[in-house]
Every structure is written in structure tokens, then in C-alpha cells.
Amino acid sequence: MKEKKDNFKLRNNHKLENNVSKNTFEDQIEGRNSVLELLESGKDVNKIFITKGEKHGSINKIIAIAKEKKIIIVEKDKRQMDQMAQNKNYQGVIAIVPPFEYCQIEDILKKAEEQKEDAFVLILDGIEDPHNLGSIIRTAETAGVHGIIIPKRRAASVNSTVNKVSAGAVEHMKIARVTNISDTMEKLKKAGLWICGTDIKTDTYYYNQDLTGPLGLVIGNEGSRNE
């Protein structure tokens, strides 16, 4: 009977502050590098959970920064942390954050303008695998992309898996969600961007193409549909 009561408490974390629920913590960042990137980005963090006994390596840096920022730190045993984690390799640390804050297209263009650079925007159409989205964000951040546009429907959204795969790059990338990709491309054209599509069957490789100037690069559908 005691085990059943424990399970009941774990399923009702919104009523019992010190327990864990996957449903309650939908917006969470997992893994040491991702949590460090989150803390260093200056974005809001509600709470950080750490596995009891995990007091070595980069965990100490996470704890120090969290204490400096006056973020609540809660230690949980491994069983509770395993139930809470959305990824197997969470490395003993989970940060609870407010829902990801998407931006507007204008914010992406403004970022390029402030940096005195030609706008470089990725337009993702039909990227449904969060691992693929995370990988794209990680690469885009290192390539100098000013922002990424994703559709609201039939596409992966930013979650803990995306954040972990991106190695925390999502915390530094402006991401907008739009209702209609076609309308968005027309809007970008009017703003002066040249829209270029990618195709696995093309004869022109990107390194042979002139991609200078304001650019909107379309990446789509993961090869899952016949075009």
C-alpha cells in the first residue's frame, strides 16, 4: 500500500511541492552543458533539480551560478529524477523553466540590422523530429544565422530534447513560429531577402552558389514526403 501512495504522490506533483511529475514539468532543460548554457544566457529559471550525491565536475559550477542568481536548488534521489527526466542521459541535473519564448519575424530582422549584417534566416518546413531540429539549431548558431522560422503545425517545437541536442544553442537563437510558411516567405521577400530552397536531388551544391546578401534558406520535410 505504501508503494501505491508514493506513486500517487509522484503523479500529483502540482499539489505536492516536493514530488515529481512528467506532466507538470513539460518545459525543462536537461544535461549539464545545456543547463550551464541556460544559466549563462541570463534567461529565467524557476528551479533546478539535482540528483543526490552528484557534487562533482560541472555540477559544482551549476550549483554556484544558481546560488549566485538565487535560483532554488532541490536535491532528489535517482529514482525520482529518472521519473522526472524526459531524456535518459540527463546527467543528474534538470532545470525547470518558463515556456520557451518565441519571437516575431521582425525581431529576427532587427537582430541582423543591429549587428550591421545581411539577414540570414532559416525557414524550416516539416521538420518533425526534435533531434533534427536541435541539430539544425546547433549548426545554425555556429554559422551565424540570425533566426529560425518554424510552422506551428506538423513540426517539432522547442522542448527539452531540442535543447539538449542543440547543446544549449537554443538559448542564443531567435525562433519564430508562424501559421503559414508561404506567406512568411513572401513577407521576407518584401523585406529584401532572397529565398533559396534546398533539395537533395539538385545539381548545384551550396558552395558553388552565390549566397551573399540577405538570405532566407528553406530546409524541409526530412525526406518523408514525395515532392
Does the predicted model carry a pTM greater than 0.75?
no
pLDDT at 80 over 70: yes
Q: How far apart are CA 225 and CA 138, in angstroms?
A: 25
Where exactly are the structural domains of the chain?
Answer: 2-96, 105-223
SS3 (DSSP) at 112: helix
Rounded to the nearest angstrom, the gap between the alpha carbon of residue 91 and the centroid of all alpha carbons in its chain is 18
Higher pLDDT among residues 150 and 87, named by residue: 150
pLDDT at 1 (0 to 100): 43
Examine domains 2-96 and 105-223 and report if their fold is the same.
no
In the prediction, which pLDDT does 106 show?
Answer: 97
Q: What is the tens place of the pLDDT at every residue in 2-57?
A: 444 333 333 333 333 343 333 333 488 899 998 998 898 888 899 999 999 877 78
For the chain, strand residue ranges (E) read 28-30, 47-51, 72-76, 93-96, 120-125, 147-151, 174-178, 194-197, 215-220
Report the C-alpha gap between 121 and 113 in whole angstroms: 13
Measuring CA to CA, how many Å separate 5 from each of 11, 15, 18, 31?
10, 14, 14, 30
18 Cβ contact list (under 8 Å, min separation 6) = 74
| Cell numbers found for residue 141 | 548558431
Q: Decide if 193 contacts 216 (C-beta within 8 A).
A: yes
Q: 105-223 falls under which CATH superfamily?
A: SPOUT methyltransferase, trefoil knot domain (3.40.1280.10)
Question: What integer is the mean pLDDT of 88-104?
Answer: 90
Return the CATH number of 2-96, one of 3.30.70.360, 3.50.50.60, 3.30.1330.30, 3.20.20.150: 3.30.1330.30
pLDDT band of 221, cuts 50, 70, 90: low
